[in-house]
Structure 1
Amino acid sequence: MIRVTTKKLIIVQFQHAMLRFHNAVVDLLLAVAFAGDIFAEAKRIVTHHYQWAVVHDFLERICGATAVNNAMTSVSAPIGSPFQMPVEFAVAAYRFGHSMVRDTYWVNFNFPNATLGKVFEFNRNPRLPVFSNWVVDFNAFFDTGVPVPVHNKARKIDSFMANGLESLPGFAGMMAILATRNLRRALALGLPSGQGMANAFGITPMTTAQLTSGLPAAEVAVLNSSGGLLLSKTPLWYYVLREAAVLHSGNQLGPVGGRIVAETFVRILKRDASSYLNVAGGFTPILPSSTAGDFTVADLVNFAGVTQP
């Protein structure tokens, strides 16, 4: 979720899982003696199942099923229509992940309490290629059904970032850097405030009491500075974080953040002629799944065969 390279040990191994997923689909097509272009068909199956999982597993967890369903019905994006990434998404709403990073990760049985610094260290020279005892156990990241002692559940979506970010090699003060960068970029690009975005969506903005609910005194003091300007025109990134924390206990984005994120993903998919949303007659996952007619990221890593490190 975070753009600095702290979690690349995990991210690059997930990319390896995606390669294994593709190869498993190729093997499946060979096993059934598929008569057409195997690689073209494998690409189609892999793409559609991954997109399905992104929408129905990831997006529904992050934005809520209601926001995703509303985006599906309300977003109009003809195939091939022009598209530019909304700055409200790129510079504010989709940066919610900065608050979800954990201080430590259960990587595998060899490293049950790996700090962010360690996770970072084992993806850089001279420790490349990745040591065999640092292979990520994806059962600790997804609900695969394989028992592990710890599940690396993300931290809540709120206005606090992991303390471990402060100890990254070569990234002293990372929490302040990330927060400052997010706020300055939003200001430079003229993003609307959280209240302005809410009003544009026809959503009742959060009250001052909600924005400050449960915050430490120092953070409330900052919000009250400059005549309370930050409470009446709250930076969109911060507003999205507080909205999630207050309205959904940090378990998913609120109505403003959820709508921005869900509509952006859905618009991308609807305008793409090759996406699963544009399959003639509709698309239903065909690969093995723990739930009939569904397909999750956990199903993906299971099918890829990377759940036994």
Structure 2
Amino acid sequence: MSAAQTSSTADTRRPGGRLEAGTLALRRGIRGLAPVLGPLGTTAKYVSLLAAVVVALLPLVTVLMAAFKTPAEFASTSPLDPPSNWLNVDNFVTAFVRGGMLQGFVNTTIILLLAVTGTVVIGTMTAYALDRFEFRGRRLVLGGFLLATLVPAVTTQVATFQVINWLGLFNTRWSAVVLFMGTDIVAIYIFLQFMRSISRSLDEAAMLDGANRFTIYARIIFPLLKPAIATVVIIKGLAIYNEFYIPFLYMPSQDLGVISTSLFRFKGPFGAQWEVISAGAMIVIIPTLVAFLFLQRYIYNGMTSGATK
């Protein structure tokens, strides 16, 4: 027996040597299975992704096909059967005209534009003050924002309703606008995260040129926050567009119905006409898809990279 074999045998007799030998054998076994495990892992990954896509799209496809069916066709065919005529838009016309969705779109657009604009302005100013200014109680303010996110909104609805009613905003669009602008702490944290990536040397250079704080915010900070603004616009816009509770509670008048409450009211006149309800659902879904596809490329765009060069 050679000296190397003798040394190896002696090492495997020790507890530590046995462990190392077992580890080496396990590694050799894994390397031997790599040609098999690689394709299996790739196949499992794509199968799981395909299953997730099917789960996400199947309800939408079912609603889309139902929206183009006639009442008789909807009652006699399976939900997964395609419609006989993809150009049948009668359900969409009925949902849009008789369902009052035009007024819902108008109210939703007004509230969304005002609320998102206010959220962006207030959020960026708040983030600018918290990140760039040093003052007493700064950490306390940040802690207060964090605490506000931990309090369930439903627990404060009685007090919130009393405040809105006292301000005379109940049953007006301004009730939803004020509530949407004043309850988005997440937007402030998004702006803070992006603000910290902007070099303070830009502020100092602008101050040397005679710019004041507001000029720095308006001409330097705000344009560089476009990726964060796009993120907040998408998140906040979709949240407002899909919000049901606040418009339903604070704007009960039918003339003030938004798109979500207009669709909810379909349960009355179109309670048994699922093809019309499906068409109304598709009318609600299409704008969100278009908005997301248009704005998603602005997220995480790295517009601050190279700003200090």
TM-score w.r.t. the length of structure 2 is 0.25
Larger Cα-atom Rg = 2
More helix by share: 2
